[in-house]
Structure 1
Amino acid sequence: MADNDAPAAAPKKSKLKLILLLTTVVVLAIGLSIAGTLWFLNGADDDVEMPVEAAEVVFEPSQYYVIDKPLVATLKSEGRQRYVQVHIALEATDSVALDAANKHLPLLRSRLLSVLGSKSFQEIQTVAGRDQLIGDLLTTVNQVLEREGEPPVQSILFRNYVLQ
């Protein structure tokens, strides 16, 4: 019986309390992060409207109006007489603009010939000069169409370009 006199061993602490404490802390952290996120998003600018659906981009194919007769003009040059002959087409996605260009073709041809005649041979001989010429011709066409109350064309295309 002497063995019974030894002090009783302390009971081992249960890990159940530790697991419950850690689970509670993790659940509380997740709940606070969700609450903080919702509060932050609701507190953002309410004036900014988020689009419900993005507008669908509708593809509209280009349409062309080919000016049948070439534009021929005399160019400024040093000592020699030079010519430019240009076959052009107008590009637009709206057929109304092309119909308007056909309707006002005599006025357009006159203005386009004036623009061509104002250029020098050296100026339009380079690629950059041709690009500038296209820009000037497009501006002229759209100015005429705007003055007549018609929609503009998108671009001018050279079908044939001859310098002599």
Structure 2
Amino acid sequence: MATAAPEAAAAAPAGGGKKKLIMIIVIALVVVIVGAGAAVMLLKKKPKAEDGEDPEADAHAEHVEVAKPKPGTPPVYLPMEPFTVNLSDKDADRYAQVGITLEVTDQKTGDLLKAYMPAIRSGVIVVLSHKTAVDLLTTEGKAKLQREILAEAVRPLGYEVEPEEEAPAADEEAPKKKKKKKKAAQALPVTQVLFSQFIVQ
């Protein structure tokens, strides 16, 4: 009876060692299978990324391209303090009170223009002070003024807007000029100049 107990004790560790060995082999196989699966997945993704056909990359690229203002988004307006300027009429002292609001592409552009507002206001004052009452009372004169104010509004940001050439009067011959190549249309950060007040006295 004393000899049976040591035999049972010796058999127990031997059985436990086999279980440990089986568990280690199973874990090693799982690690190898997972590693092989990961390697296969990485190898499949690499060629697609190099060819530019990775659907995840395409989805990300589309998201970056769609980061433009959506249609139906309300416009961003930047109102300016009203201008009161003496006009260049020679026969009488005339002045104009003009309220201007700029329509801009987004709020970020509006904030940027606020930083340049002293330069923009100065340019607009110069433009207005060179006008006469007759220039400002016609529809064409107001439209021309809007284009000139637009040019002054975007100039501090590095944009150059060339003034439109006026058509010669019927009795005048058009001077012959060399044809200039038209520049490609540029997307300006200011989309519109609106008048909120317009008084000429």
TM-score, shorter chain, exceeding 0.5: yes
Q: 60, 76, 87: which is aligned to 2:88?
A: 76
Q: What 5-or-longer segments of structure 1 have no aligned partner?
A: 1-54
| Corresponding position: 1:64 with 2:70 | no
Partner residue, 2:108:
96
| 1:58 partner SS | coil
**C-alpha distance in structure 2 between counterparts of 1:162 and 1:80, whole Å:** 16
Q: What 5-or-longer segments of structure 2 have no aligned partner?
A: 1-64, 160-187
Partner residue, 1:127:
139
| 2:190 partner SS | coil
Partner residue, 2:18:
none
User: What is the one-letter code of the residue matched to 1:137?
Assistant: I
Partner residue, 2:125:
113
**C-alpha distance in structure 2 between counterparts of 1:106 and 1:81, whole Å:** 26
Instruction: Give the superposition deviation at 1:64.
Output: 0.5
Richer in helix (by share): 2
**C-alpha distance in structure 1 between counterparts of 2:74 and 2:157, whole Å:** 21
**C-alpha distance in structure 1 between counterparts of 2:78 and 2:141, whole Å:** 24
User: What is the one-letter code of the residue matched to 2:78?
Assistant: Y
| Corresponding position: 1:138 with 2:150 | yes
TM-score with structure 2 setting the length = 0.49
Runs of at least 4 residues off by over 4 Å: none
| Corresponding position: 1:86 with 2:123 | no
Matched residues, number: 106
Instruction: Give the superposition deviation at 1:139.
Output: 1.0
Identity among equivalent positions (%) equals 28
